[in-house]
A and B are shown apart, each in its own frame.
Chain A
Amino acid sequence: MKKLMLSLAVNGQVYDVAAFPHRTLLEVLRDDIGLTGTKRGCDDGDCGACTVLLDGLPVTSCLVLAVDAVEKTITTIEGLATAGQLHPMQQAFIEHGALQCGFCTPGLIVTAKQLLEEKPDSSDEEIRAGLAGNLCRCTGYVQILAAVAACRDGQLAGQTEAP
């Protein structure tokens, strides 16, 4: 077995990594590129903590071989805020207390952001179904659903600054 040279375009930047073909996109992001915001909760596609956008669509990065992400664009949680400005979905999660331990949060925010981009007027029911692949054990989802709905409805109070 030998390592492959992979060029991965993550959050608008190209990273050249040498990785074995069996390494998943999740592993390469976390261990080789050092973007640890994307989390591993199960490594089986069941929890959604590892969700990233691949060519703009949410996928569980634990079920994608890194080599399969070559020539695609990858967006992780670290790529959401631009020029110090939080993405509205991030802001909504803060305002609604939609996180506790925060381990599921990156995956949820990435999934919810794309959900509203694909269908800005998603119904509450569509939001629930669209987030079913992101498990959260802490919050019971109530404040998460409220945050996503507030983001959809453009009801955000402000911009949180970096502490």
Chain B
Amino acid sequence: MYPFEYIEPSTLPEAVAALAEHGPDAVALAGGTDLLVMMRADTIRPKVVVNIKRIPGLSGIAATNGDVRVGALTLVRDIEKSPVLRARAPALSEAARWLGSVQIRHLATIGGNLCRAAPSAEMAPTLLALGARLHLVGVQGQRVVPVEDFFLGPGRTVLQPGEILVEISLDGLAPRSGSTYLRHSIRPLMDLALVNVAAYLALDAAGTITEARIALGAVAPTPIRARAAEAELCGHTADPALFERATEAAVAAARPISDVRSTAVYRSRMVRLLTQRALAQTLAAAQNGHVQ
């Protein structure tokens, strides 16, 4: 690893100022599980590293009324184990379970996973499906961005130099709703997802689908919403033909490539399979109404 200057701010304004001052030469350090790997491979060579982990108040999981707020510096391991999330957004805890090894999850943060903006990012599809909102703080102050507007491309986000992701909020989860996260990789664990899929369905009392969100990862430059598939579902009652049409639409939304991990054809087939399974499981969860 190439040497750098190290800054360890103890407040958010200090951190933002330090990052803003050094612009593209500076990076924020959270868990470091992406950052240090990239620095060692020399794909990035920052001159200044700003450790944001010693700033109080950036981690933790809190539930108020219907809303859940997750600090950006919350460890993926804590998301995996959180009783609040297991009850309110089980798909998020489920996603956390698949990220790296237990050693990595004790370092990795949810914010780092999003800010790294990998197409296969473990936490992204579920947050897309749950309609999460991201709270960013920069020199200009705070702004809130829906997670679906956050990613611009592999490794690229809307974060401005100096901006820090501080919190992720999940609000408006319907009473009769369910969510699912599924992923496929060659090794069952310790392997990046070849495809990951998350789904969210909300039902009304009659069982009609009132809200649907389907998110796909690793099949486009960023994690994406399959909006055409969602449109197929909304306002209808679930049945196999409906799910099949939605699945087709999801497959059409995916733009997978062939790379060192898999082929486009294979990824496409996995989108179909995982979407089918995710819809069925999400429907069952929603019917049981396990998000209150």
Residues of A within 8 A of B (CB): 1, 4, 20-22, 24, 43-46, 48, 51, 54, 57-60, 62-65, 67-68, 111, 115, 129-130, 132-134
Query: Which residues of A have CB within 8 Å of B29?
Result: 65
Contact A45 B102 (CB under 8 A): no
Binds A, one of B14-22, B31-39, B204-212, B266-274: B31-39
Query: Which residues of A have CB within 8 Å of B107?
Result: 59-60, 63-64
Contact B5 A111 (CB under 8 A): no
A59-B103, A60-B103, A133-B100 given; 11 more Cβ-contact pairs under 8 Å: A4-B6, A20-B3, A22-B2, A45-B104, A48-B103, A54-B106, A58-B106, A60-B107, A65-B6, A133-B190, A134-B101
Contact A64 B3 (CB under 8 A): no
Q: Can you list 26 pairs linking A and B with CB atoms under 8 Å apart?
A: A21-B3, A21-B4, A21-B6, A22-B1, A22-B2, A22-B4, A22-B6, A22-B39, A45-B33, A45-B37, A45-B100, A48-B103, A58-B103, A59-B103, A59-B107, A60-B104, A63-B104, A65-B32, A67-B51, A68-B32, A132-B101, A132-B189, A132-B190, A133-B100, A133-B102, A133-B190
**Is B115 interfacial (CB 8 A cutoff)?**
no
B38 to chain A, nearest CB (A): 10
Contact A67 B5 (CB under 8 A): no
**Is B53 interfacial (CB 8 A cutoff)?**
yes
Query: Which residues of B have CB within 8 Å of A63?
Result: 31-33, 36-37, 104, 107
Contact B32 A67 (CB under 8 A): no
Measured between alpha carbons, how far is A109 from B53 in the docked complex, in Å?
Answer: 28
Task: Choose among B4, B102, B104 the residue that contacts A130 (Cβ–Cβ < 8 A).
Answer: B102
A133 to chain B, nearest CB (A): 2
Task: Choose among B2, B8, B40, B100 the residue that contacts A43 (Cβ–Cβ < 8 A).
Answer: B40
Query: Which residues of A have CB within 8 Å of B33?
Result: 45, 63
Interface of A is mostly: mixed
Task: Choose among B5, B32, B53, B106 the residue that contacts A21 (Cβ–Cβ < 8 A).
Answer: B5
Residues of B within 8 A of A (CB): 1-6, 8, 29, 31-33, 36-37, 39-40, 49, 51, 53, 77, 100-104, 106-107, 189-190
Contact A1 B102 (CB under 8 A): no
Q: Contacts A22-B2, A59-B107, A63-B33: A46 and B190 contacting too (C-beta < 8 A)? A: yes
Contact A48 B40 (CB under 8 A): no
Contact B36 A24 (CB under 8 A): yes
Query: Which residues of B have CB within 8 Å of A115?
Result: 102
B81 to chain A, nearest CB (A): 10
Query: Which residues of B have CB within 8 Å of A134?
Result: 101
Query: Which residues of B have CB within 8 Å of A45?
Result: 33, 36-37, 100-101, 103-104
Contact A133 B103 (CB under 8 A): yes
Task: Choose among A20, A22, A57, A68 the residue that contacts B106 (Cβ–Cβ < 8 A).
Answer: A57
A3 to chain B, nearest CB (A): 10
Contact A68 B51 (CB under 8 A): yes
Query: Which residues of B have CB within 8 Å of A44?
Result: 37, 40
Query: Which residues of A have CB within 8 Å of B53?
Result: 68
Q: Which 9 pairs across A and B sit closest by C-beta, in order of nearness? A: A133-B101, A21-B6, A132-B189, A1-B3, A60-B103, A57-B106, A22-B1, A58-B103, A59-B106
Counting chain A CB atoms within 10 Å of each CB, the highest count among B1, B4, B51 belongs to B1
B250 to chain A, nearest CB (A): 29
Measured between alpha carbons, how far is A91 from B109 in the docked complex, in Å?
Answer: 35
Residue of A nearest to B47 (CB): A1
Query: Which residues of A have CB within 8 Å of B31?
Result: 63
Counting chain B CB atoms within 10 Å of each CB, the highest count among A24, A60, A64, A134 belongs to A60
Residue of B nearest to A51 (CB): B103
Residue of B nearest to A115 (CB): B102
Query: Which residues of B have CB within 8 Å of A54?
Result: 106
Query: Which residues of B have CB within 8 Å of A24?
Result: 1, 36
